[in-house]
Chain A
Amino acid sequence: MHGTLGALSGADFGKQQTQRVALTSESGNVDFFTLSPPKARTVDDFEIPNDLLARCAGQRDLVRRVLSMYVGQMDSDIPELLSKIKNGESDEVAKLAHRMKGASANVVAEDLRAIAADVEKCARESQLENAQDCVEHLEAKWNDYLETTRPFIEAT
């Protein structure tokens, strides 16, 4: 069904539990839908990747520690990466992106790994403008990742 949906934004979901929206079809019919905001992520929403669990010898608490360290490190690495790009330090950007790539691969954060690999490649080719674009993409993906993993990391 094609049509126009009443404008929605993420901010709307933040303020309301549900929202009633109108969808107008090409034929002119109007249908009403009730949309519920996404539920807050919980511990149960995070599925530990099998490879990570195997590398952690099956220990969930260790997985939690590893992810906690990963998150802490990435939280500091991303701004550092942007700073080094701004200063034109191609070699340093490449080294840092390489480490972030490895760390992301270890926790099976494949999207983040792939972007870090792109940043590394751009830096090695001295294309820092492209690297900058990649980092902005990385930041967006990072926020998604945090949202998913934080409940698990903070669970006791």
Chain B
Amino acid sequence: MRVLVADDDPSSLITLEAFLVSLGYEVATAQNGREAFEMLQAGDYRIVISDWEMPELNGLELCRRTRERQLGSYVYFILLTGRQDEGDLVHGLEAGADDFIRKPFNPEEMRVRLRAADRICALESRDIFIFSLAKLAESRDNDTGAHLERIREYSRLLAEEMSTLDKYRDVLNADYIRTIYATSPLHDIGKVGIPDCVLLKPGKLTHDEFEVMKQHTLIGFETLQAAVKNNPSAKFYRFAQEIVIAHHERWDGNGYPHGLSGEDIPLCGRIVSVADVYDALTTKRVYKEAFDHETAKAIIVGDRGAAFDPDVVDAFLNREEDFEAIRTQLARTSGETLTPELATV
């Protein structure tokens, strides 16, 4: 893993550089904040360890600029400081620092804090891998474009909105929201097991064809079962399984595959269900044209309490402007066909 170290004191810089190399990291160095920022933009560094006080651009400002720019992968930022003020901790965290280490660094402390950094970076790698897997499953269907990107954004919005309700405050915490964002793209992974003649059929499915299509929820569940068995303590995979198996259940019990109803349907499934339907309605598919937002909204509201959890529909209504904004932004990014209303925006 590549680490960038920034410090204006040469002797401290070579000390830290050599220590990191001894731990197996690939290290680059900068002697001031401006140089460090230029290197960050040009290179791929996953961890930055920066002195606070530096000429040209101090560590705090370097951290702030790093967070403001999208540099691709997440950069884990450690501020190395000899400053003693308690308020500095707050300023550093506000600027986006992930961790602090006092100078001169304690080798054992540096070692364990870097292990924490490695774990965070590995999580992001995991999320990228999972999204790539979901994209692969989706790749046979040319119509879906940025569907997965929108699904995770919509799911996140709904979860965030519902987290403000007393009923969900304890459940829909930051960890839940992060997890639904990361796992919702897997909702249709089971489609890899559905034949093209059904998956890509341009017209309405027959009863038998629909029965085949419904299997994608069970296929997806079984696909993830290996991951659950190998990682019994990984809640992440169980969460993904819940989305996969439950996102086609209906609030009134007339969904599939198990005909669950009400709050027996996992919450994550109820959330992704609305996200998925909204996206299906507002994008062109092989079997239909894209509907505009108002039409999609009317359909979803019409099924409040029937297909959909009333709380989730209410959350959707509270955030419908954000839904539209995401729809526009990601449609343009992926070059998808916009509805007439968006085409003129």
A55 adjacent to B11 (CB under 8 Å): no
Is B178's CB within 8 Å of the partner chain A?
no
Is A132's CB within 8 Å of the partner chain B?
no
B9 adjacent to A73 (CB under 8 Å): yes
Complex interface residues of chain B between 268 and 327 (CB less than 8 A to chain A): none
A99 adjacent to B18 (CB under 8 Å): no
Nearest B residue to A101 by beta-carbon distance? B82
Interface class of chain A by DSSP: helix
Contacts of B55 in A (CB 8 A): 95
Interface residues on B, range: 20 to 34
Interface stretch among A6-14, A23-31, A39-47, A59-67?
Answer: A59-67
Known: A73-B9, A98-B82, A99-B8. A66 touches B15 (CB 8 A): yes
A66 adjacent to B14 (CB under 8 Å): yes
A55 adjacent to B9 (CB under 8 Å): no
A55 adjacent to B14 (CB under 8 Å): no
Is B195's CB within 8 Å of the partner chain A?
no
Complex interface residues of chain B between 3 and 33 (CB less than 8 A to chain A): 8-12, 14-16, 18-19, 22
Number of contacting residues on A, CB 8 A? 24
What are the interface flags for A72-110 relative to B under an 8 Å C-beta threshold, 1 for contact and 0 otherwise? 010000000000000000000001001101110111100
Nearest B residue to A57 by beta-carbon distance? B22
Complex interface residues of chain B between 104 and 119 (CB less than 8 A to chain A): 104-107
Known: A69-B14, A102-B12. A55 touches B103 (CB 8 A): no
Is A114's CB within 8 Å of the partner chain B?
no
State the CA gap A51–B107 with chains docked (Å): 8
Known: A98-B53, A102-B51, A102-B82. A55 touches B10 (CB 8 A): no
Known: A105-B82, A105-B103. A99 touches B15 (CB 8 A): no
Is A5's CB within 8 Å of the partner chain B?
no
- Minimum Cβ distance to chain B for residue A72 (Å): 8
State the CA gap A57–B25 with chains docked (Å): 14
Contacts of A98 in B (CB 8 A): 53, 82
